[in-house]
């Protein structure tokens, strides 16, 4: 049975129970406290995207039914032609609540069942384009398009989605770089693009024969998708980029990936306002320093926020050399926030005293927090006239084995360590320290 059909087919049954009052308790002794509308509406909104939970919420009472059923269609998932037909039939049925349904649907996810077919995308877009005036986001997942499917009008229906501004690609393989650009160019108002595990088959080419009229404002790309960066810069779709999120692992600092990263940053130039770099450290940093491979931010003259997410706690003087070299290239006099997040990889929480002692030792061993000779270089650099606009420098520690009880003692130890090693930043009042636990709770000191 289709994923949409499950909800569409049992909808009539639950509406019957709602209309006849079967969802309301008749026995006063079984009455439950009634939550204020703003409370249960917030609960339902928090579960948006989890159709199983929303379906359970619809069974609670008459008041919860309508909001739960409408919210369940805010994020539409299409895996086959049956999903598309069920949703189209639901939109065209003469029910009073459907105008709200059309207004609530904001995202469409195309996740074809094996074998993947481009026709699912074309069918979904053709049938739903006129029915969803507020559709903002399209996701395409687990798709391997073949050259035989790529006729000249394969993506033509996408031009009817004039409200879509965000495109998310996950595990998508294109037969050529030109097909990738045809997909991007088919969305007239596209401003945000996310690429994870995107690949291009056939003979790789850094340039596309297609001219793109799209001007991206936001880009998130992982290191497995870096091969599409040169083609995006050659078509000038990154010239107005404002937010860039670059995700990578140990290969991100190789010569090839460093060259592609630099092309992206140079193409964005003065329009780039926020930059996030996520990477592994360790041996990759040593290789980058040894081969003089760095990230230069000279062209980004209006950069305001810089965030570094590093998948390690074990940082030494070699890493600081790489970090100092990158920060020294900043020419922006508008940089207001720098965040350095160190992410541990422990999977099982440590308990009690063992946890505190273990993390205390780990904090003491992190060179960026404990060694005067190396930390003073960073303190001097960030306190210079070059960074006089800085309003916040935040050092953060995160580990999945941290519990909430560990945050206070470890946060205090980290804060005292930071203050002693970065006195100039502390004197300016811009220094921040944060510890993040398993559940994402943040303690800022």
Which residue's structure tokens are 């900043």? 330
| Rounded-to-integer distance, Cα 182 and Cα 163, Å | 18
Give the confidence band of 128 by pLDDT, cuts at 50, 70, 90.
Answer: confident
Q: Is residue 216's pLDDT more than 90?
A: yes
Q: Are strands 107-110 and 166-174 parallel, antiparallel or unpaired?
A: unpaired
Residue scoring higher pLDDT (11 or 410): 410
Comparing 376 with 249, which gets the higher pLDDT? 376
Least confident span in 336-345, 357-366, 373-382: 357-366
Tokens 């040593």 correspond to 286
Q: Which two tokens stand for residue 208?
A: 């596309």
Q: What is the DSSP letter of 24?
A: S
- 335's tokens: 């940089």
pLDDT at 25: 45
Residue of higher predicted confidence among 222 and 207 = 222
Q: How long a stretch of residues is the chain?
A: 445
Backbone φ and ψ for 139, nearest 5 degrees, come out as: -120, 135
Confidence band for 60, pLDDT divided at 50, 70 and 90: confident
What pLDDT score was predicted for residue 408? 75
Q: What is the number of other CB atoms lying within 10 angstroms of the CB of residue 419?
A: 15
117-125 average pLDDT score = 74
**Which of the pair, 416 or 93, is modelled with greater confidence?**
416
Cβ atoms within 10 A of the Cβ of 165, count? 18
Task: Kindly report the number of other CB atoms within 10 A of residue 193's CB atom.
Answer: 24
Distance CA 120, CA 117 (A): 6
Q: How far apart are CA 201 and CA 214, in angstroms?
A: 23
**Domain segments of the chain: what residues?**
39-76, 79-204
Percent of the chain with pLDDT over 90: 24
Contact assessment for residue 225 and residue 196, using Cβ atoms and an 8 Å cutoff: yes
- Beta 442-444 vs 431-436: how paired, if at all? antiparallel
- Which of the residue ranges 38-52, 112-126, 169-183, 193-207 would you say has the lowest mean pLDDT? 38-52
- For domain 79-204, give the CATH number: 3.80.10.10
Instruction: Give the range among 67-76, 199-208, 266-275, 386-395 with minimum mean pLDDT.
Output: 199-208
- The pLDDT tens digits for 150-180 are 777 778 888 888 899 999 999 999 988 888 9
């Amino acid at each position: 049975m289709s994923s949409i059909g499950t909800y569409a087919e049992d909808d009539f049954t639950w509406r019957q129970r709602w209309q006849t009052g079967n969802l309301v308790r008749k026995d006063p002794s079984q009455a439950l406290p009634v939550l204020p509308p703003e409370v249960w509406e917030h609960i339902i909104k928090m579960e948006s995207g989890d159709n199983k939970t929303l379906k359970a919420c619809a069974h609670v009472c008459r008041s919860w039914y309508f909001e739960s059923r409408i919210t369940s269609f805010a994020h539409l998932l299409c895996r086959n032609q049956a999903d598309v037909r069920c949703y189209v039939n639901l939109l065209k049925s003469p029910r009073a609540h459907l105008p709200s349904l059309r207004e609530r649907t904001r995202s469409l996810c195309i996740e074809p069942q094996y074998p993947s077919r481009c026709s699912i995308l074309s069918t979904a877009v053709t049938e739903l384009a006129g029915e969803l005036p507020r559709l903002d986001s399209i996701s395409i997942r687990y798709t391997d398009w073949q050259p035989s499917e790529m006729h000249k009008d394969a993506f033509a229906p996408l031009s009817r989605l004039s409200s879509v501004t965000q495109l998310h690609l996950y595990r998508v393989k294109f037969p050529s770089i030109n097909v990738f650009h045809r997909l991007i160019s088919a969305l007239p108002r596209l401003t945000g693009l996310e690429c994870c595990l995107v690949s291009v088959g056939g003979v790789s080419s850094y340039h596309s024969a297609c001219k793109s009229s799209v001007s991206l404002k936001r880009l998130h790309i992982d290191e497995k998708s870096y091969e599409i960066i040169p083609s995006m810069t050659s078509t000038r779709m990154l010239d107005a980029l404002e937010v860039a999120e670059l995700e990578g692992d140990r290969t991100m600092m190789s010569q090839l990936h460093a060259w592609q990263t630099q092309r992206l940053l140079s193409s964005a130039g003065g329009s780039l306002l926020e930059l996030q770099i996520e990477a592994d450290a360790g041996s990759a940093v040593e290789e980058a320093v040894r081969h003089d491979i760095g990230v230069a931010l000279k062209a980004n003259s209006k950069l305001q926020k810089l965030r570094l997410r590093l998948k390690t706690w074990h940082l030494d003087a070699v890493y600081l050399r790489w970090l100092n070299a990158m920060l020294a290239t900043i020419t922006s006099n508008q940089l207001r926030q720098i965040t350095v997040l160190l992410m541990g990889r422990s999977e099982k929480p440590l308990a009690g005293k063992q946890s505190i002692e273990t993390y205390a030792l780990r904090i003491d061993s992190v060179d960026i927090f404990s060694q005067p000779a190396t930390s003073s270089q960073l303190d001097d650099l960030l306190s210079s006239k070059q960074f006089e606009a800085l309003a916040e420098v935040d050092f953060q520690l995160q580990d999945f084995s941290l519990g909430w009880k560990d945050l206070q003692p470890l946060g205090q130890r980290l804060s005292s360590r930071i203050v002693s090693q970065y006195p100039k930043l502390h004197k300016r009042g811009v220094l921040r320290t944060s510890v993040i636990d398993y559940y994402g709770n943040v303690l800022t000191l």
